[in-house]
């Protein structure tokens, strides 16, 4: 999986480098191109890394849920991992949209 992360980083750097080279005028100073490259890389990096982050969260939640089932530590009053994730997701959506009733 580390190769996938390295590949995504290299592809995003190469793609942003190509965009900066092809869309910038030739008379733009080098420091300004570097600044544009860094801001675009940060912006596009989020888009490239988001699926990988979702995958890692799902894997860690699945392994945590498996550990709870094997150990039998979850009591009747303790919510499951899925319930806590859904509650956090509801809180996030309510905070972003401003609708607390979701």
Q: Is residue 84 part of a domain?
A: yes
Q: Indicate whether 27 belongs to any domain.
A: yes
59 inside domain? yes
Give the pLDDT confidence score for residue 78 in this predicted structure: 62
User: Does the residue 36 lie in any domain?
Assistant: yes
- Average pLDDT over every residue of 82-95: 73
Calpha distance 32→90 (Å, rounded): 41
Q: What is the pLDDT of residue 7?
A: 85
Q: What's the whole-model pTM score?
A: 0.53
**pLDDT at position 80 over 70:** no
Is residue 66 assigned to a domain? yes
Q: What is the mean pLDDT of residues 78-89?
A: 70
Q: Which residues 6+ apart lie within 8 Å of 19 measured at CB? A: 40
pLDDT at 2 over 60: yes
Residue 102 lies in a domain: no
For the segment 12-71, what is each residue's pLDDT rounded down to a tens digit? Answer: 899 999 999 999 898 999 999 999 999 999 988 888 778 777 777 777 777 665 655 555
Q: Is the pLDDT of residue 94 over 90?
A: no
State the total domains in the chain: 1
Tell me 80's DSSP state. Answer: P
As to burial, measured by CB atoms within 10 angstroms (0-12 exposed, 13-18 middle, 19+ buried), residue 97 is: exposed
10 alpha carbon, distance to own chain's centre: 17
Nearest to 62 by CA among 78, 41, 90, 85: 85
Q: Establish if 42 belongs to a structural domain.
A: yes
Assigned domain for 6 exists:
yes
What is the extent of the structural domain holding 14?
2-97
């Amino acid at each position: 999986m580390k190769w996938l992360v390295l590949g995504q980083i290299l592809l995003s750097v190469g793609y942003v480098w190509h965009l900066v080279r092809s869309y910038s005028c030739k008379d733009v100073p080098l420091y300004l191109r570097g600044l544009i490259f860094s801001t675009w890389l940060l912006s596009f990096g989020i888009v490239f890394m988001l699926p990988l982050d979702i995958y890692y969260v799902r894997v860690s939640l699945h392994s945590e849920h498996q550990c709870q089932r094997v150990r039998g530590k979850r009591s009747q009053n303790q919510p499951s991992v899925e319930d806590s994730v859904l509650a956090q997701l509801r809180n996030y959506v309510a905070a972003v949209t401003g609708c607390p009733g979701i």
